[in-house]
Chains A and B, each alone.
Chain A
Amino acid sequence: MLVLEGVSKSFGAVAALRDVRLELRAGEAHALVGENGAGKSTLVKILAGAHAPDAGTITMNGEPLVLHNPADARAAGIAVIYQEPTLFPDLSVAENIFMGRQPLRGMRRIDAGEMRRRAAELFDRLGVQLDPDRPARGLSIADQQLVEIAKALSFDARVLVMDEPTAALSGVEVERLFAVARSLRDAGAAVLFISHRFDEVFALCERITVMRDGQWVSTDAAADLTVADVVRRMVGREVGTLFPKEEAAIGDARLEVRGLTRQGYFTDVSFTVHSGEIVALAGLVGAGRSEVIRAVFGVDRYDSGEVLVDGRPLHRGSASAAIGAGLALVPEDRRQQGLIMELSVERNATLPRRWSLSSLGLLFGGSERRAARDWSQRLQVKAARLGDPVSTLSGGNQQKVVLAKWLATQPRVLIVDEPTRGIDVGTKAEVHRLLSTLAGEGVAVLMVSSELPEVLGMADRVLVMHEGRLAADIPRHQADEESVMLAATGQGDR
């Protein structure tokens, strides 16, 4: 029904998609899997008309389809749920669903009552309790995702594209979503489903396309594949080598968090990370993991509790105090939090160290450049010039710059939030090796990750969060997929 052929797309130096093909059939649910940064979302955006492909063709029912903008895609009957919700915070939920397609009455006026009623109907169908009149501002990630799903459903689309719609949803909500998706499929729509959860992929989809590093790898019927097959194709090698965990001597408590609470985000979180230890903080998206470490690092405030580094309390709400105490945070959102995209590699890499690099309060080009070159070389950052803006680097290299920037501060406690999000397989292994080495050198590492293999492969201990609370503390030898998932979904024994 919808066929993509030879699609390529690059962003500056980053080749996000290379010669990708994809074929969706009416009445079929199709899964698209691949590692972070494999190019799935980029493909989705091309389908949605948000990005124009550099090369390649799209045909729908045999007719060539040119999508200049999202409106074209919509007109072609393609409904998209983006990975990052795209809601208008100031507008009501109902308006968010029907923006541009609001039901009309006489004189082409918007029929607000009808709109509200239809929104309520959609929510009923999805089994969620949301007031159509409330503004989107303040919705939880899960609720935002549900509004996005309702938006896509409201189209009666011929093609429904869902980019990780379930990442933030609970089991019941996922079931409802699947029921809706199946009914759409049975009514003759084509469904494209993207997820990192293989159980869902196999439960919903008939065929699976695997992508790696922006390239198409395979398309097969789900019945012919096992999870192991899919993972092998995604990663391109055996998973084991991805996690070169070294045993390190575990020393004194480096980072202690006691009873940390921030109203509306997390409650009474306490844990300790020792030198030489890698502690993973696991949980579903939206469980509050990032919020906790942001508060620990001082970029967010917290209401009560305390944070100690080497036994000394840390001044709250000051990232520079945290840096001074030897903390480093590699944030989850590289573009928004990790890097200043318009500034050069050099400036980014030396930003947290700008005071220590200065002499008499003055910064001379030389010291910054030397420091930047030093760490870029160690991490093998591929950049034409250190003076180039980081935005011209590929995703993986950008992530390396973030790592370089923090490792250069020689932290005693390294906090990493989704450290391998959006970087290629090779780099991923390098990052893991690096974390291992650092732990071996006595650094305390706290790692937030949504990727279970990474959590299980790297951590000495797994902390699991559920709805803003610490739900479990599982030592390495007891941690497995099941125990972590149970705790993360709130079914743990604690």
Chain B
Amino acid sequence: MNILRKLGSWDVVVLVALALVVIVGEATIKGVGTPVFWRFVTLEVIPIAIIALPLTLIVITGEIDLSVASVMGLTCSVMGSLWAHGVTSLPLLIALCLLLGAVLGAFNGLFVTVFGLPSLAVTIGTLALYRGLAYVVLGDKAVSNYPVSWTSNAISPIPGLTIPWFVIIVGVLAVLFAVVLHATPIGRGLYAMGNNAEAARFAGVAVARTKFWLFVATGTMSSLAGVFWTFRFASARADNANGLELAVVAAVLLGGVSIFGGRGGLLGVIGAVVLLSTLRNALQLASVPPNTLTIVTGTLLIASVVGPNVVGMARERLRRRRPA
């Protein structure tokens, strides 16, 4: 019971929902739960999870980054362009891309923390700017002649399993972010500034500096997702991952992170990322029309904010009744 309390009720709701989807799906839909199913789900989960990790931290501090998918797109474009211009060393390519992501994130962070502009407006701006630059770099061409070894290695399974090995990297990163958020002084500071930035400042939390580095981290992780995306689809295009930001934000919010900051945790977010992909794939296997899937996603998102509110109101009512 104590453990449940600690996890926070929404994390549990998400995980229970995930378990339900898997169990009911396996029982009623052919193909759900097979090794191949999980392979496809993980492939879909990887890029979203990579971005959701740092974005969770950002949203917990009360900010938001909508430019993540554009950072991915620009990374893909630059990577394609570098490759086309003869940069053929894989480590160098990856390093340059991650550096680019860090710079793009720092640009966001600069506007938000140094100039004090609202992150929502700033990252809507860079959402357009970065995507535009991606087009400027690569135009409407696609670069796809990467060595097959790179592209197939990126998604090759862990020996003996069907799940891609890249998931291990994501897992390590997830643990890292979870530890930072939940078990370090930095994490304590994140929650503090998300709830009340001024009080956090009075307690010695370097609010602006922390936020800046979070934006850098988000940029870097987004470009990592971009690298994975390029190799997974063996194609660098300016419109790669167009619109993915909404999917990531939806997952973070569904995971129980408050859009106003200060509330939520990584377990719920990871659960929500997996839940969304599993549900989508399961419904697809059940031949639910794609248009219905759109409605389901939206409804889930609304439920994720209305749900806890209703639960809270009900609890409040119960508490009021009890003393009487």
Q: Which of A339-347, A374-382, A466-474 contacts B (4 or more CB under 8 A)?
A: A339-347
Would you give the shortest CB distance from A309 to chain B, in whole angstroms? 15
Interface flag for B201 (CB, 8 Å)? yes
Interface flag for A322 (CB, 8 Å)? yes
Contact of B188 among A320, A322, A337, A354 (CB under 8 A): A354
Q: Which of A137-145, A240-248, A269-277, A357-365 contacts B (4 or more CB under 8 A)?
A: A357-365
Contact of B189 among A337, A342, A354 (CB under 8 A): A354
A319-B188 CB under 8 A given contacts A337-B198, A341-B195, A364-B183? no
Q: Identify the interface centre among B191, B199, B263: most chain A CB within 10 Å of its CB.
A: B199
Interface pair A351/B203, CB less than 8 Å apart: yes
Closest to A294 in B: B202
B residues 191-206 touching A (CB-CB < 8 Å): 191-192, 195-196, 198-206
Complex: A362 Cα to B184 Cα, angstroms: 5
Closest to A300 in B: B201
Closest to B258 in A: A342
Interface pair A363/B183, CB less than 8 Å apart: yes
B residues 264-305 touching A (CB-CB < 8 Å): none
Q: How many A-B residue pairs have CB under 8 A?
A: 76
**CB 8 Å contact bits of A316-329 with B (1 = contact, 0 = none):** 00111011000001
Interface pair A340/B183, CB less than 8 Å apart: no
Total number of B residues with any Cβ neighbor in A under 8 Å: 22
**CB 8 Å contact bits of B46-61 with A (1 = contact, 0 = none):** 0000000000000000
**CB 8 Å contact bits of A18-48 with B (1 = contact, 0 = none):** 0000000000000000000000000000000
Interface flag for A336 (CB, 8 Å)? yes
Complex: A92 Cα to B319 Cα, angstroms: 44
Interface pair B188/A336, CB less than 8 Å apart: no
**CB 8 Å contact bits of B149-184 with A (1 = contact, 0 = none):** 000000000000000000000000000000100011
Contact of A319 among B179, B204, B262, B263 (CB under 8 A): B204
| B147 proximity list for chain A (CB < 8 A) | none
| B202 proximity list for chain A (CB < 8 A) | 297, 299, 319, 329, 331, 337-338
Contact of A361 among B185, B204, B205 (CB under 8 A): B185
A343-B201 CB under 8 A given contacts A355-B185, A358-B184, A358-B185? no
Contact of B185 among A323, A354, A405 (CB under 8 A): A354
Complex: A323 Cα to B205 Cα, angstroms: 10
Closest to B196 in A: A340
Interface pair A347/B188, CB less than 8 Å apart: yes
Complex: A318 Cα to B210 Cα, angstroms: 13
Would you give the shortest CB distance from A136 to chain B, in whole angstroms? 20
| B195 proximity list for chain A (CB < 8 A) | 340-343
Complex: A78 Cα to B256 Cα, angstroms: 43
Interface pair B263/A340, CB less than 8 Å apart: no
Interface flag for A103 (CB, 8 Å)? no
A336-B184 CB under 8 A given contacts A320-B204, A342-B262, A347-B191? no
List residues of chain B with CB under 8 Å of any chain A CB. Answer: 179, 183-185, 187-189, 191-192, 195-196, 198-206, 262-263
Q: Known contacts A299-B202, A351-B205, A361-B184; can you find 17 more A-B pairs with CB under 8 A?
A: A299-B201, A323-B204, A331-B202, A336-B196, A338-B202, A340-B191, A340-B195, A340-B262, A342-B263, A343-B191, A343-B192, A343-B262, A350-B188, A352-B204, A357-B185, A363-B183, A363-B184
